């Protein structure tokens, strides 16, 4: 085990795959991983595999997506970075109508081993066009795996799995996670998709949280413990595929659920969890499902104006108190 940041752990997975897979191409590494863009290991990859690194592609998300998808369909493996997830909307057609359907429409003859990395979340100094978490939108389009890691160990393991997969995968990272430190397994470490992780066991309420909101939920669980409330924190880690069994098992045990998420409230990930619980565990519920998600309006610029869009531990504690 080695202690490292979230960003460094992602670089660790990327470096290993670049070394092991001679077909892998890195597109957009000048902005890859945010604060990790100048990570020494990533600089080594640039130097050693210069013929397989496109550092600064044109600012055209649809072109970058098309390049990565075409390369993957041709037998290579591609990792492309889009900067912010909001920008990736420009490549929606390539994601949905090409990467997501190629395998099925070709009768299994074509695979698309491409990974698309991007930042999501509320950006304090940016405008509405930059502050988006569109993973629920992509989840509504079959054929694309979606990763939302929350710890350094998880991002290494999940990124390793993504880079070995023959299916297109979107990895959305939150900028507030990039400097998080934690113990990370050494060597070839992979986490299977579709396996949730119970980050904290509890008996009174289930907190289902994604990405950076897992840390928020854990802080809320600690505060609730001081009040004698035992909260279980479930991190899906991937929302496609989704570990429904793990979430439902927790809800059946606690009888209460609060979803802490950064996708929009209407048709967001929290709405999907609420519907799933209503369909499969309604008889176990002791209170209504609570969703803590941003309101359905464009996200403004500035820390003060963004207050309603930020889910804090205090807000989570308040939501739990309302259903006890």
**pTM metric for this prediction:** 0.93
From CA 3, how far away is CA 153, in angstroms rounded?
Answer: 9
Which regions of the chain carry the CATH code 3.40.50.970? Answer: 2-184
How many degrees, rounded to 5, is the angle at CA 141 between CA 88 and CA 117? Answer: 35
Instruction: Place 302 in a pLDDT band, splitting at 50, 70 and 90.
Output: low
Mean pLDDT value across the chain? 90
Whole-angstrom distance, CA of residue 215 vs CA of residue 151? 9
Q: What pLDDT does 51 receive? A: 87
Catalytic residues: 130
Residues composing the chain: 324
Tokens for 84?
């912010």
In 3D space, the residue among 205, 192, 159, 170 whose CA is nearest the CA of residue 11 turns out to be 159
Say what the pLDDT of residue 124 is: 65
Q: If 0-12 CB within 10 Å is exposed, 13-18 middle and 19+ buried, where does residue 273 land? A: buried
| Backbone phi and psi for residue 84, each to the nearest 5 degrees, phi listed first | -95, 145
User: What are the tens digits of pLDDT across the range 68-105?
Assistant: 999 999 999 999 988 888 888 899 999 999 999 999 99
The CATH number of the structural domain formed by 197-321 is: 3.40.50.920
What band does 179 get if pLDDT is binned at 50, 70 and 90? confident
Q: What's the CATH architecture for 2-184? A: 3-Layer(aba) Sandwich (3.40)
Where are the domain boundaries for CATH 3.40.50.920 in the chain? 197-321
* CB-facing half-sphere around the CA of 116: CA atoms within 13 A: 35
Q: What's the mean pLDDT in 126-152?
A: 89
Q: Per-residue confidence at 37, pLDDT binned at 50, 70, 90?
A: low
With a cut of 90, say whether residue 269 has pLDDT above it: yes
């Amino acid at each position: 085990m080695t202690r490292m940041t979230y960003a460094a752990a992602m670089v660790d997975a990327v470096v290993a795959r670049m070394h092991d897979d001679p077909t892998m191409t890195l597109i957009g590494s000048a902005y890859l991983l945010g604060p990790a863009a100048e990570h020494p290991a990533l600089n080594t990859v640039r130097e050693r595999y210069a013929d397989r690194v496109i550092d600064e592609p044109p600012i055209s998300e649809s072109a970058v997506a098309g390049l990565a998808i075409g390369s993957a369909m041709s037998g290579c493996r591609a990792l492309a970075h889009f900067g912010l997830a909001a920008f990736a909307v420009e490549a929606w057609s390539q994601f949905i109508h090409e990467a997501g359907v190629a395998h099925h429409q070709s009768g299994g003859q074509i695979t698309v081993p491409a990974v698309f990395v991007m930042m999501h979340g509320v950006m304090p100094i940016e405008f509405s066009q930059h502050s988006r978490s569109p993973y629920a939108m992509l989840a509504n389009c079959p054929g694309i795996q979606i990763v939302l890691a929350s710890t350094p160990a998880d991002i290494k393991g999940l990124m390793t799995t993504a880079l070995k997969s023959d299916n297109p995968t979107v990895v959305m990272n939150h900028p507030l996670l990039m400097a998080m430190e934690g113990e990370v397994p050494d060597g070839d470490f992979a986490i299977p998709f579709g396996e949730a992780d119970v980050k904290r066991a509890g008996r009174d309420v289930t907190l289902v949280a994604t990405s950076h909101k897992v840390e928020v939920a854990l802080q809320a669980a600690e505060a609730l413990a001081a009040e004698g409330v035992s909260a279980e924190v479930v991190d899906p880690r991937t929302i496609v595929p989704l570990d429904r069994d793990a979430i439902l098992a927790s809800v059946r045990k606690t009888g209460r659920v609060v979803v802490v998420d950064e996708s929009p409230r209407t048709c967001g990930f929290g709405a999907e969890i609420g519907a799933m619980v209503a369909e499969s565990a309604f008889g176990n519920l002791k209170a209504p499902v609570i969703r803590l998600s941003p309101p359905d309006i464009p996200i403004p610029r500035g820390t003060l104006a963004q207050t309603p869009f930020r889910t804090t531990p205090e807000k989570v504690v308040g939501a739990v108190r309302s259903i006890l």
